[in-house]
Structure 1
């Protein structure tokens, strides 16, 4: 179905939901039932972990201000705005149940936006902000969700004070994730087996999520930090491990996203039946759904541009005041203390109005919204039915489908009209980014060659050394330049060692340029994939001679 949707230019999630809903109306059909805790534990950790593996930590820190503003601030504002608007005299939701609904629909799912951005070539900072937001907004939303659900069901909460609970989750969760990430890297050093390393990597997100949740901390943040730590150490792994993990996690992402949308579609008929039993008319549910959808569509653009103009206003005031205030001597009482290095690297440059428009329209709801809606417990602590569970699920379904239809289908056109993507920009800009990455890789190789020439192995003929350097330089074009693996000679050993040093230097140089923000992250990712595939191709040809 996903392949058919891509060929037809349709959003795969919508097609899967429609087919699942149609199947739910077949006579005698019984939908699959999963425990609410199992559903979130199975679906959410792998999706977050695979995204964190490929995301640059320095890029995340450099854009931490807009990421926190969107991923935490906007989620809280959206959740309470939806709760307040759904707690009205003509709406059948109490404030607690309305807050459950608000937490469910608050976090946008950036999968669609990031996929569109990669295809059309959104500016690297916009892509970094959207990806970073998607990594932390689920933590804020699910914390509110768990507090609201516990209040409705009457379950015991680890810390009664919501702010203290939020702070505890935000501190302990990352600590758990970092510890597990470093343990994973330590274990991988002794494995040295691509298959085992890939299997071990698939266990990490589930372990991080479960351990953190057992400690009443944020499982989402634990998974994200574990992904950051393991992703930063992937260069120490072999190319086979990186290639296997890349394709495995891509497949897992597609499978889990399809599963969630199919799961909610297969339950649609039964949600409607529950609504029919609970309400004489579906009019109230339709009203709530439209109100919530409208709030979700409007509140993000309003918040994004409020942050944009606040930044502009503060800059004008700061510039005006800085022109009036006298300069203070060095070492005087007005001298500011030097900020930490990571703090000084935070990018405080505001986005352009075109970029803000795109960011404001990337509020599609998806996997997390539907998974959280399906994860609402069926009963309270007393055994009674969870109040308005079917209503909340129906509203969440309408919001997810509505945002995918309205925002997901129009986002590519909006990017093109604003001339932000590579598809709309001059092709020379795209080529320049790729040439820059190739130049970085070439310079890194030249540095290794220069060091090799200055400190050559003493037991190899100089002419042989020249031949080795020449062959490695041509290796990208012709893998047959490599020596025969049956030659267990000093020449073959030097060749292999130098070739690996060149690749390691190229990868490190590309990542350094990416982390400094000088090369587009998508271009660097493509270049790293190319190096891994190049090494895989050479290795396969060498092994094929045996």
Structure 2
């Protein structure tokens, strides 16, 4: 394909992303489902070239920044608190699902070597971080359940990829022992953690000294790729390295970033993540044509492989439910014996957790890396795509309905000790104390009375709103509506002055930034 045609195809794909995302919002579908279906439909449009994904490029291009983004927003305290449950899902559930799928695959195809069956299990077993994030950000779950699912999605790729590589090597004649796999897995994980911590620490050191805002934002964006590629180059888990670096960034960014860097960087990062996530799903859909071509066409798939594919999907789903409910039963038993502090999550949470096992880019990329002469390679490619299709379209689309049906909601136990109102009051009091100290000269004379009045009014503003919670909320909303309206009037006047050549671009942009920050503050306070 000519480079210009490649560029045209990429631009067309981005245009399709916008249209499909807008359509998903209108139809109240998960965007991932609409992009997957749309990508599959686009692949069969006459004249669209056959697209073959490079699996290594897909993993390196998309996975590191998306893993860092997930880790960036992970609450580290809850992650550490629920680490045992997260590891049960990210390691135990993946290994168990791999074994169950391998057994069913060998039953369906007795001539398929056990190692190849294990490779298939490792391909389809780990839920995907991108798919999980695309769905979880649209629903509200109890914080413990959300922490478990988010933590699982960050770590389980490492488990699946390690098992997959050993299983492929064994199938191709290398051979391995269980003890070797366990030792290698521990080494890969610990090495990945070390690399991630080193890259994160280097980012902290440089970030404290770097004064150029754009360079700091660019450096932050590159951290995920640096950690991932460094880990892979040194023979450890690049996935764990990227996740660890992301956790460091998320924890330290509050003290490293200035307000300007945080505003600009967050905006840029949100656009980048949106484009990467959307591109992943539409590329998976577009790859359907290539996969069907390898398997001999849609008729061959429907006639010969439909039942085996359905069996793999059902097995994978049931295996996840079996592990989660069995693990919760063990937790309950240990709790009765006085062992362990965490209570069981209960049937409702276990049901939602079992259903929240969407697969995505890692599953497809792993399947595409299978050697050309690997036994039943075409079937495994179809199984990977079928699992992605079913879990994203069926589970991802109905997860919200299941949450409402089970009645899951955040309770008082899910909330932090201090609510937002109390935290805001404490913040404003700290600001007022600082102004009272800083607004005076060395002799103690007040030299900035306007600032003191302003911060005193802010710190005591909440006391002027009386009545019930609903009345206070309405009064506060009305208060900030006035501010937002005043900002709009000020912006309109600035534009008028600029259009009549009374102020230049620099003046417009400087004053407009002040208005933008004031509007953002008012909208945030109103929300």
TM range (shorter): 0.7 to 0.9
Match of 2:398 in 1: 410
Q: 1:396-440, CA deviations, whole angstroms, 9 ceiling, x for partnerless residues?
A: 111111122332222111111222236xx9xxx79x989911211
Cα contact 1:49–1:224 (8 A) shared by 2: yes
- 1:32 match: secondary structure: coil
In structure 2, relative to structure 1, the CA distance for the partners of 1:281 and 1:212 (3 Å cut) is closer
Cα contact 1:177–1:221 (8 A) shared by 2: yes
Deviation at 1:359, TM superposition (A): 1.5
Please give the residue correspondences for 1:109-148 in structure 2 after superposition, counting only pairs within 5 Å.
Answer: 109=128, 111=130, 113-114=132-133, 116-148=135-167
Match of 1:270 in 2: 290
Match of 1:458 among 441, 447, 451: 441
- Structure 2: distance between partners of 1:536 and 1:191: 26
1:439 matched to 2:422? The reply is yes
Match of 2:384 in 1: 396
1:45 matched to 2:64? The reply is yes
- Structure 2: distance between partners of 1:454 and 1:364: 54
Match of 1:294 in 2: 314
Please give the residue correspondences for 1:395-544 in structure 2 after superposition, counting only pairs within 5 Å.
Answer: 395-421=383-409, 436-450=419-433, 453=436, 457-459=440-442, 462-465=445-448, 467-474=450-457, 537-538=517-518
1:373 matched to 2:356? The reply is no
- Structure 2: distance between partners of 1:352 and 1:277: 45
In structure 2, relative to structure 1, the CA distance for the partners of 1:280 and 1:445 (3 Å cut) is closer
1:360 matched to 2:354? The reply is yes
Match of 1:166 among 185, 204, 229: 185
1:238 matched to 2:255? The reply is no
TM (norm. structure 1) is 0.74
- Structure 2: distance between partners of 1:356 and 1:281: 34
Between 1:103-112 and 1:79-88, the stretch displaced more is 103-112
- Structure 1: distance between partners of 2:450 and 2:306: 75
Match of 1:93 in 2: 112
Match of 1:350 among 344, 355, 365: 344
In structure 2, relative to structure 1, the CA distance for the partners of 1:271 and 1:238 (3 Å cut) is same
- Structure 2: distance between partners of 1:121 and 1:278: 38
TM (norm. structure 2) is 0.76
Deviation at 1:535, TM superposition (A): 11
Structure 1 gap segments, 5+ residues each: 320-345, 380-384, 482-532, 542-546
Deviation at 1:235, TM superposition (A): 1.2
Match of 1:515 in 2: none
Match of 2:222 among 189, 203, 217: 203
- Structure 2: distance between partners of 1:143 and 1:225: 18
In structure 2, relative to structure 1, the CA distance for the partners of 1:40 and 1:93 (3 Å cut) is farther
Match of 2:470 in 1: none
- Structure 2: distance between partners of 1:121 and 1:535: 32
Deviation at 1:170, TM superposition (A): 1.0
Q: 1:89-127, CA deviations, whole angstroms, 9 ceiling, x for partnerless residues?
A: 646633222222211211113555555554442111111
Cα contact 1:168–1:217 (8 A) shared by 2: yes
- How many matched pairs? 451
Match of 2:87 among 59, 68, 92: 68
- Structure 1: distance between partners of 2:50 and 2:204: 41
In structure 2, relative to structure 1, the CA distance for the partners of 1:414 and 1:19 (3 Å cut) is closer
Structure with the larger helix share: 2
Structure 2 gap segments, 5+ residues each: 1-19, 462-479, 488-512, 522-527
- Structure 2: distance between partners of 1:352 and 1:540: 40
Q: 1:425-467, CA deviations, whole angstroms, 9 ceiling, x for partnerless residues?
A: 9xxx79x989911211211331353365468743476444554
1:312 matched to 2:332? The reply is yes
- 1:49 match: secondary structure: helix
Deviation at 1:229, TM superposition (A): 1.0
Q: CA RMSD in A?
A: 3.5
- Structure 1: distance between partners of 2:262 and 2:171: 45
Cα contact 1:181–1:226 (8 A) shared by 2: yes
In structure 2, relative to structure 1, the CA distance for the partners of 1:126 and 1:470 (3 Å cut) is farther
Between 1:472-481 and 1:75-84, the stretch displaced more is 472-481
Q: 1:491-542, CA deviations, whole angstroms, 9 ceiling, x for partnerless residues?
A: xxxxxxxxxxxxxxxxxxxxxxxxxxxxxxxxxxxxxxxxxx999715999x
- Structure 1: distance between partners of 2:420 and 2:301: 61
- 2:273 match: secondary structure: helix
Q: 1:205-262, CA deviations, whole angstroms, 9 ceiling, x for partnerless residues?
A: 1111111111110101000110111111111211222223323332233222322222
- Structure 1: distance between partners of 2:428 and 2:319: 50
Between 1:211-220 and 1:286-295, the stretch displaced more is 286-295
